[in-house]
């Protein structure tokens, strides 16, 4: 009986390690369509869209993002899910266009983009190491993170109309910390067998990394941006 239990635990660990490896590999691959999308976004004129109807643009982006995540979830157990994930990451790269354009208009914009990318990568590696090696179960973070996410969405919607710079910076700072918590939670879920689908795991972690990079870059531009 003990031998069977040991074999069962080893089999479970093998599956969890495979999901984690596949998740990391897929994350690496999603950077390719993201970079391509970002390059297209940098060379796209978004100003006329914002001028025409910023609210409709905001709603359209939300509908596209949530629609794509729904499609990926529905196809997470077949090959279509992988291609949908690549399409989604291309779109997310494209959506980086406006903030990258803004950054590149600063004299030190390229350096700030590099700092944001480096900070996001270092944060991911650190949180990944903690999540995979810690004996503690971080599943208790789930409810707190969900509540925090809802509050942030409400704050973003409010600031969309009021345009308060201080609130915008506060939101970005909170989002960076919130996304760090999500990454820790999501990787720990894979390690502990709470998430067994690498496509869904990749999607969740990718969204957290995308948001962390975007808001970290926003903070860096506000605090260190040089218009000269």
- In this predicted model, what pLDDT tens digit does every residue of 164-203 receive, in sequence order? 788 889 989 999 999 999 999 999 998 888 888 999 999 9
Determine the pLDDT at residue 54: 66
pTM recorded for the entire structure: 0.87
Determine the pLDDT at residue 224: 87
Cα–Cα separations (whole angstroms), residue 162 to 21, 50, 126, 166, 205: 44, 16, 36, 11, 30
What percentage of the chain exceeds 90 in pLDDT?
54
Q: Could you give the CA distance from residue 128 to residue 138 in angstroms, rounded to a whole number?
A: 12
Q: Give the sign of the dihedral formed by CA 159, CA 165, CA 167, CA 168.
A: positive
Whether 1 shows a pLDDT value over 70: the answer reads: no
Show the domain range for 205: 2-224
**Binning pLDDT at 50, 70 and 90, where does residue 156 land?**
confident
Number of domains composing the chain:
1
How is residue 67 written in tokens? 């629609």
**Binning pLDDT at 50, 70 and 90, where does residue 8 land?**
very low
Cα–Cα separations (whole angstroms), residue 38 to 22, 116, 178, 209: 24, 15, 24, 15
**Binning pLDDT at 50, 70 and 90, where does residue 221 land?**
very high
């Amino acid at each position: 009986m003990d031998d069977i239990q040991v074999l069962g635990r080893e089999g479970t660990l093998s599956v969890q390690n495979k999901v984690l490896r596949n998740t990391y590999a897929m994350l690496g691959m999603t950077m390719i369509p993201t970079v391509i999308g970002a390059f297209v976004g940098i060379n796209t004129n978004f100003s006329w869209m914002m001028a025409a109807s910023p609210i409709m643009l905001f709603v359209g982006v939300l509908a596209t993002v949530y629609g794509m995540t729904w499609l990926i979830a529905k196809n997470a157990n077949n090959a279509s899910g992988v291609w949908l994930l690549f399409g989604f990451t291309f779109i997310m790269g494209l959506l980086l266009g406006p903030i990258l354009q803004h950054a590149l208009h600063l004299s030190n914009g390229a350096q700030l983009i590099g700092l944001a990318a480096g900070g996001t990568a270092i944060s991911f590696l650190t949180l990944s190491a903690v999540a995979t090696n810690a004996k503690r179960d971080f599943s208790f973070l789930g409810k707190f993170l969900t509540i925090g996410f809802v509050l942030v969405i409400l704050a973003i919607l409010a600031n969309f109309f009021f345009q308060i710079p201080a609130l915008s910076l506060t939101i970005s700072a909170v989002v960076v910390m919130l996304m760090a918590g999500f990454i820790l939670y999501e990787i720990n879920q894979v390690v502990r067998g709470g998430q067994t689908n690498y496509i869904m795991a990749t999607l969740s972690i990718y969204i957290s990394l995308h948001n962390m990079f975007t808001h970290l870059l926003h903070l860096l531009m506000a605090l260190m941006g040089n218009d000269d």
